Amino acid sequence: MRERFAAWQDMVSLVLTLTSGLMAIGFQTLRGDFSLAWWIPNLYLMLFPVPGIVYLTRRPAPQS
C-alpha cells in the first residue's frame, strides 16, 4: 500500500512541476517576452519531469 501511495505522490509532483513550467512558458509567450534568462529555467521545469512520468507510467503497478 505504501508503494502505491508513494508512486501516486511522485506522479502528482512531477505533473505539477511540468504544469508550472508550461504555464510560465505560455505566459511569457503571450507577453512576447523572449528573454533566455526566463526561458531556460522554465523549459527545465517543463522538461525534467518527462523521464520520471514515462518511468512511472511504464513500470508495473505495485502489488498489495
pLDDT digits (tens, 9 = 90+) for 28-61: 999 998 899 999 999 999 999 999 999 989 887 6
* Domain assignment of residue 15, given as a range: 2-57
* Assigned domain for 63 exists: no
* Assigned domain for 25 exists: yes
Number of domains into which the chain is organized:
1
CA distances from 6 to 10, 49, 56 (A): 6, 16, 11
* Assigned domain for 13 exists: yes
Q: CA-to-CA distance for 18 and 10, rounded, in angstroms?
A: 12
Q: Is the pLDDT of residue 14 over 80?
A: yes
| 19-23 mean pLDDT | 95
Scanning 32-60, the segments in alpha helix (DSSP H) are 36-47, 49-58
* Assigned domain for 19 exists: yes
* Assigned domain for 30 exists: yes
* Assigned domain for 40 exists: yes
* Assigned domain for 20 exists: yes
